[in-house]
Amino acid sequence: MQIKDNLTSIHQQIQTACQKAGRPQSAVKLLAVSKTKPVEDIQSAIDAGQHAFGENYVQEGIEKIQYFADKHPELEWHFIGPLQSNKTRLVAEHFDWMQTIDRAKIADRLNEQRPRHKAPLNVLIQINISDESSKSGIPPQEMLMLAKHIENLPHLCLRGLMAIPAPTDNLAEQEKAFNTMKSLFEELKAAFPHQPIDTLSMGMTDDMETAITCGTTMVRIGTAIFGKRDYS
């Protein structure tokens, strides 16, 4: 029951933030981050109407995808963690979206390994917007070059950008990072008008409202839906 209530609360928060920003609630998609959570929790979220899920770990994600494949073929699975090149085939074969592309080599491997009977893999370029050495993602100035490379890969579909800004309680710093991402998103759309670029994935449990104000189209929420994670 709690997961259902949590989802209701999140949707209300999204609606309120969208109203404040003068945006329709339909402009922001909710991605439920289900990493480390059991299939029972995901089923509870599905029962409450959630159908898009994000996973950070390849093997764990695939086990869940396979578990729900027959029961709920309508589900949409996003890979949102850093990806090593030796795991690209698994993502290419099983996931619907890959949100963390940050180099041409990974894009090439995903393109080669995407099964031909499947639709092209939806991909987002990850931007290291806070210039953190510990974070994945490319510097903003490399965005167009990587996008151009992806545009020529027929089994990938470039849908937009993703970022994980440095955590901060400073509202001005949050807004600066998110506004920069929004500007990059508009630049990408203008540079590639023939690509279906419609997704700006930014904003998590603690900074969701600011992200919505600044123009995100997808928020990635885990803790506020499923509770704290147990990494033991």
Maximum alpha-carbon separation in the chain:
47
- CA 145 remoteness from chain centre: 21
Q: Give the structural domain span for 79.
A: 3-15+28-221
Q: State residue 87's pLDDT score.
A: 96
Residue 63 resides in a domain: yes
Residue 1 DSSP SS3? coil
30: left (phi over 0), alpha (psi -120 to 50) or beta: beta
Q: Strand pairing of 218-221 and 29-33? A: parallel
Residue 78 DSSP SS3? strand
Query: Rounded CA gap, 65 and 182, in Å?
Result: 31
pTM of the model: 0.95
Residue 226 resides in a domain: no
Q: State residue 232's pLDDT score.
A: 60
Residue 150 resides in a domain: yes
Residue 179 resides in a domain: yes
Query: Rounded CA gap, 65 and 21, in Å?
Result: 35
Residue 127 resides in a domain: yes
Q: State residue 171's pLDDT score.
A: 87
Q: State residue 167's pLDDT score.
A: 87
What is the number of domains present in the chain? 1
Q: State residue 218's pLDDT score.
A: 98
CATH of the domain at 130: 3.20.20.10
Query: Rounded CA gap, 8 and 226, in Å?
Result: 12
C-beta separation of 161 from 201 below 8 A = yes
Q: State residue 1's pLDDT score.
A: 66
Residue 20 resides in a domain: no
Q: State residue 145's pLDDT score.
A: 98
Q: Which residues are within 8 A (CB) of 223 and not within 5 positions of it... i.e. 6 or more apart? A: 205, 229
- Residue appearing with tokens 């890969």: 153
C-beta separation of 206 from 186 below 8 A = no
Residue 228 resides in a domain: no
10-residue stretch averages of pLDDT, the chain, 232 residues long = 94 97 96 96 97 97 97 97 95 98 97 98 96 82 98 98 91 93 98 96 94 97 89 62
Residue 22 resides in a domain: no
Q: State residue 229's pLDDT score.
A: 74
